[in-house]
Chains A and B, each alone.
Chain A
Amino acid sequence: MASATVANHDTTAHDHHDHEHHDNFVTKYIFTQDHKMIGKQFLVTGIFWAVIGGFLSVLFRLQLGFPDMSLEFLRPLLGGWIDETGKLDPTFYLALVTMHGTIMVFFVLTAGLSGTFSNFLIPLQIGARDMASGFMNMLSYWFFFLSGVIMFISLFIKTGPAGGGWVVYPPLSALEQAIPGSGLGMTLWLVAMTFFIVSSLLGGINYITTIINLRTKGMSFSRLPLTIWAFFLTAVIGLLSFPVLFAAALLLVFDRSFGTSFYLADIYIGGEALPNTGGSPVLFQHLFWFLGHPEVYIVLLPALGITSEIIATNSRKPIFGYKAMIVSMLGITILSFIVWAHHMFVSGMNPFLGSIFMFLTLIIAVPSAVKVFNYLTTLWRGNLIFTPGMLFSIGLVSFFISGGLTGIFLGNSAIDIQLHDTYFVVAHFHLVMGSASFFGMVAGIYHWFPKMFGRMMDVRLGYIHFWLTFTGVYLVFFPMHYIGIAGFPRRYYSWTNFEFANMYTDLNMFVSVAAIITFAAQFIFMFNFFYSMFRGRKATLNPWRSNTLEWTTPLHPGHGNWPGEIPAVYRWPYDYSKPGAAEDFIPQTVPLSATPESNLPHEQELVKLEMEIMKDESEVLVANESKH
């Protein structure tokens, strides 16, 4: 067994040398099969989309915060979507909201987060030369790119992009008569999402295969960093749920274009009765949320994995309850598939189903709570270094708590009657899913930037970026809870038609100003990111003094990651501040036999085993050498 592994390593090392010389610009930067470059491609594309998505939110926050303001100055950009009186068109307002949601959820927090870090970190942290299939991995990016191009085009067509909300509930999304965005805009949305699903599946299959098959010697599942566990479970969720979205979208395509009635029934619109009968709009909601809810965890789990790693490293302390963290993530993974209908308590579905889903939903709060307590215990009695990555990780924990707690209100169907589809929901998911995942992504960028580009990002700009963004996010989303409790419905162009909502103009203005400042603060980050990429200070090999494998690669790892053999792994990744050890970290590559002073009793027993394996291997190595 051992000999086979060693032999494999030998051949792959040779392959890698063969590869190196025929890299030209196209194969290195564009149609690359190197997981690190693909990760960076996802990252840069994700940042591009984040700017677009954020900018769209600034546009509609202008409308909500300053309803009387003339938006004439936006005419060069928005053209006919600004009417003669200088007001934003209400239909385009809905399109803005829809595209903001779609872009942020799918393009930024799924592709930008999972795509970047799963690609970049999986081979580096498990000790593999590359993904199981570099070619599929390349396809994954280019399908995502294509999807993005189509979605981008849809922003500029005459009838506007899709406008029925990011959940695209039919019949609104099926009938062009109902809203202009449901014409060509919606068609492009569906095509773009189809390519996006293809991209996610190609990526997901690769992540799972790579983690199962390509772990280096000694890297058992119980020694995987929590990041890898998170990426693994995320990929599993995506693989099981995205096909359901595809099915839902396909049936919607049939309803839109081929006269079927999966979702349509008894509709009289635009002065005519449509022939469709027998369909059910609620069916679409079930199918959509069967992806839609797991999707929440698709964006959240990678962020939680990243922060587990960063918090442990910068607390100089093992993550508390490594196994409990894995079990919680497993629990969340499984439960995420059976809570979808809590988005539908008042959709008209059978109230008995509502009861069932309420119970299941509140169960999922337990593993989430365990994770929070474990984070707190990890910080407790640590030796905390506030790198920007660490700051953003702590910020994530705060959002995860705040948004998670409001989820307890919404998961309770009796309370949800009032709060459903109000700003309370908006506040809830922007904190727990949007901001938390975004912070996880930013934390990851700050933390792994030295590995990505061999340079450091400026820490002070990082601090400013963190404090502005952290404060900004709370100032944007905390007031929304009040607005939501007051009953302000979502996706409203203006609230002046209603007496019950004819207040809080000041609070809405405040939220809008906070949102614009928060958005502006992101340019500090972008400057830091692109400037440091070329002009940042040269990084050291292991700047955060971390234990995981990626820091054993050269400063600029080539395709294949390690120039020689892939290092073997002898311990879990969280041996920080181990009693007896001289340094406050022991990398995974240090054998237990080399650290007798810090070994725990049960590890001392493993040393014997380890010595035997190492002896066997050296014999095989000698034998191989003599053959050459």
Chain B
Amino acid sequence: MYEFLIVVGVVLLISVIWMVYRIQTLVSVVKGSDKKIASGSNKINAALFVVWLVVIGGLMFWYSIKEWGNYEPPVASEHGVVTDGLFWITMAVTGVVFIITHVLLFVFPYKYQYSETRKAAFFPDNNRLEVIWTIVPGVVLAGLVISGWMAWSDITAPAPENAHVVEIMGYQFAWDVRYPGKDKVLGDYDYRLTTASNSHGIDFTDKNSVDDFPSPKIVIPKGEPVLFKIRARDVLHSVFAPHMRLKMDAVPGMPTRFWFVPTKTTEEMRTELNDPEFEYEIACTEVCGRGHFSMRKVIEVVEPAAYQKWLTEQKTFIQQNPALAEGVSVETKELAEIQLRKN
């Protein structure tokens, strides 16, 4: 019944539109408006441009101002402050250009709408104007590029020696995290060693891997450089930490990196936003399959002292699963046993 009514409604609507269409066509034929160069609708369209500019333009600005501060996620890294600055400088520059060009683009149609009594100006070229509007955008863009380039060079420069290393490995559909442990060096890995219990494919015959430990979340200290070593096990993924203004693809076969300095602990951010539930998050931004939209990992930023304390509390891979040490050399095994005893 419901469907039937919808169908009837649609049919009625279409026939009404059809009638209106036919009638207006016939009227315009009778009036002979098709013979005219510009009919009355020329005026209406010209006016609509101005109306559109005011209404839709106003709506855009109203929403932008109303939502100010809502759409930009709070920033929590040193370089993020810089890139946000660049973003808003670019916004200011392009905003001015946007407004000027659009006012002209929408006012000209109104102002210069067709009139039989007027003839358009024959103005085919003007070299000075062309030169001006080649050079001015060139200079402005050069300014933007150079500031962007300086920021980019700093961000992508090699990480400081003392950076805290965290390995993030993407796979369908999660992130696994590995810390280098006390020796601050990540052990070797080989994708062929990957098993259900060794998801990272860590080579436990390498001494450096003995003290490596996993973590369900990424814990990092505030105010100290952190280096993410990023890799992928199956397809492309991309580490995206929106609050850190950090993004880097995870590529199988080609480890990538990104270093940064977090500036606010999770607690500080919770207070600042008045949101006790707040967490820093990592999402995947390179399409990777069915579960692409669910690759979440939490970053917890803590005070450096709390970070050092947290480090000592972690259990290594081997401590968690002694079977992993099976088959490795005696020497390495001893190292592992010493560790086991210590705890």
Report A's interface with B, CB cutoff 8 A: 90-91, 94, 163-165, 169, 171-172, 175, 178-179, 264-269, 273, 277-282, 315-324, 346-348, 351, 354-355, 358-359, 362-363, 365-366, 369-370, 372-374, 376-377, 379-386, 391, 394, 397-398, 401-402, 405-406, 408-409, 412-415, 417-418, 420-422, 456, 458-461, 463, 467, 470-471, 474, 478-479, 482-483, 485-487, 489-495, 497-501, 503, 537, 545, 574, 576-579, 584
Contact = CB atoms under 8 A, between A and B. Distances in A.
B38 A385 contact: yes
B64 to A, nearest CB: 8
A458 B21 contact: yes
B101 A379 contact: no
Contacts of A268: 171, 191-192, 194, 201, 233-234
Contact of A266 (B41, B114, B119, B191): B191
A275 to B, nearest CB: 9
5 contacts: A94-B290, A179-B289, A366-B134, A382-B108, A421-B240
A374 B93 CA distance: 20
B8 interface: no
B226 interface: no
Nearest to A478: B60
Contact of B112 (A273, A381, A412, A485): A381
B253 A320 contact: no
Contacts of A362: 141-142, 144-145
B191 A498 contact: no
Contacts of B5: none
A245 to B, nearest CB: 19
Interface string B124-158: 11100110011001100110110011011101100
A346 B83 CA distance: 15
Given A172-B235, A386-B113, A492-B293, A347 B283 contact: no
Contacts of A359: 145, 149
Contact of B296 (A164, A459, A478, A498): A498
A408 B144 contact: yes
B152 A394 contact: no
Nearest to A350: B156
A359 B102 CA distance: 27
Contacts of A577: 119-122
Given A380-B112, A386-B45, A487-B73, 6 more contacts: A91-B289, A269-B234, A346-B238, A348-B251, A471-B56, A490-B287
B323 interface: no
Contacts of A373: 129, 133
A366 B138 CA distance: 6
B134 A90 contact: no
Interface of B: 21, 24-25, 29, 34, 37-39, 41-42, 44-46, 48-49, 52, 56, 60, 63-64, 67, 70-73, 80, 82-83, 86-87, 90-91, 93-94, 97-98, 101-102, 104-105, 108-109, 112-115, 118-126, 129-130, 133-134, 137-138, 141-142, 144-145, 148-149, 151-153, 155-156, 171-172, 191-192, 194, 201, 233-236, 238, 240, 242-243, 245-249, 251-254, 256, 277-279, 281, 283-294, 296
Given A282-B251, A486-B72, A380 B149 contact: no
A269 B201 contact: no
Contacts of B34: 456, 537
Given A281-B253, A413-B152, A579 B72 contact: no
A417 B246 contact: yes
A128 to B, nearest CB: 26
B287 A172 contact: yes
A384 B113 contact: yes
A495 B139 CA distance: 40
A495 B285 CA distance: 12
Contact of A412 (B80, B148, B191, B291): B148
Contact of A265 (B24, B48, B134, B254): B254
B123 A317 contact: yes
Contacts of B29: 537
Contacts of A380: 104, 108, 112, 121, 123
B249 A417 contact: no
Contacts of A482: 63-64, 67, 71
Contacts of A278: 253
